[in-house]
Chain A
Amino acid sequence: MTTIALDATALTMRYRRGWGLRDCTFELPAGRISALIGPNGAGKSTLMRIATGLQRQTSGEIRVLGQVPGKHGANRRLAFLGQDKPLFKAFTVEEMLRAGAKLNPGWDDQYAQRLVREADVPFGAKIGTLSGGQRTRVALAIAMGRRPELVMLDEPLADLDPIARQEVMHAVLAEVAETGMTVLLSSHVIADLDGVCDHLLLLADGQVRLQGDVEDLLTQHRVLVGSRELVLPDGVVEARTTGRQATVLARTSDVPGWDNNEPSLEELALAYLRSTRKVAA
């Protein structure tokens, strides 16, 4: 098993109306849950589509589990769950599982069926009649039935109610605990990913703004609170002032004179996203 599940070098996707991805270079470590964070239109879906071979990049390179995507069909060790959880609406759950079996050599039918049973989804129900949560669970079961080493989930929690969000997340985590597979999870709701993800890839305007081990990143940053008269340290990501007070998020160790706090994942991500927006504006 490799230690890098996915790596990209200068990955670029150019659309007629601008950039999808711009010179993205990053690595995703194997056996981890990586968060792909960014505002809508940051290039999250583009990145996943290129990795699955659905789309071809304009330039640059990407390797998924050591292979160039799209060369020999979709990578057998990679599973992808698209944003709208596309499944055949007219199929029953049972037929959908059968489709999964027919389309994937090495399909683990017992496993996929167990996941559907755990989700309490009736096998005879038509896909079109399922609730958003049920549909996501079935799509997840079919993605897992391939016994992938790497699974990519594009906004898996969007459009789900709070209970379904939690259930879907638990189902994913339980399977990671059981199989040790690598996960790439995109979301624009950072709170959903806090505690869940241990690696971060932050995209904005098609560019990588921040990447690395979540815990390392958090210990490498500080939220500094103090008087606005104080000298700013190096590595300031974002600085805000209210009255006499300044609140600064910086890539730094403890700075004397300031009140030093370790940021939360959400504080960290939002600071980076806001700072890129200001530069763009």
Chain B
Amino acid sequence: MIEFRIDRRSGVAAYQQLVNQTKHALRLGLLRPGDQLPTVKEVVTTTSINPNTVLKAYRELEREGLAEGRRGVGTFVSVSAAPAQPEADQLRAELAGWMRRARQDGLDREYVEALVKAELDLHYEGDGR
């Protein structure tokens, strides 16, 4: 189970933040297929947001095939939700190695962040956020 956090000043819609955090948790392996997502009641009492917002986020996750609602029980991570792809571990390891080198070469954090962002913008252009 994960706990959501809403940043009201981020400018990102609350439901989108919930979707993003769920995807993020899936990517990091904090959520696995079959895991239950927090109930609407749990989310609203930890984040003070409108229950309809939570429902909207869960519907979005269902639409993307990442979650499925079971009537009267709750919302669960789909069995079909792609777990961390086999290559993902490999890629992450490579990225970690790259970061180590960057640090050894004395690149500071801001510079690395700018680099990563620039590459992201280049390669993921048109994909939205």
Which residues of A pack against B, CB within 8 Å?
Answer: 31-33, 166, 169-170, 173-174, 176-178, 194-198, 215, 261-262, 264
Contact = CB atoms under 8 A, between A and B. Distances in A.
Given A178-B41, A195-B53, 15 more contacts: A33-B51, A169-B48, A170-B44, A170-B45, A173-B48, A173-B50, A174-B44, A177-B51, A195-B50, A196-B48, A196-B50, A197-B50, A198-B50, A198-B52, A215-B13
A195 B8 contact: yes
Interface of B: 6, 8, 11, 13-14, 39-41, 44-45, 47-54
B52 A195 contact: no
A176 B49 contact: no
B48 A198 contact: no
Contacts of B50: 33, 173, 176, 195-198
Nearest to A218: B13
Contacts of B53: 195, 198
Contacts of A32: 52
B48 A177 contact: no
| Most A C-beta atoms less than 10 A away, residue of B6, B8, B48 | B48
A148 B1 CA distance: 32
Contacts of B8: 194-195, 264
A31 B14 CA distance: 19
Query: 6 tightest A-B contacts by CB?
Result: A173-B44, A177-B51, A170-B45, A177-B41, A177-B40, A195-B49
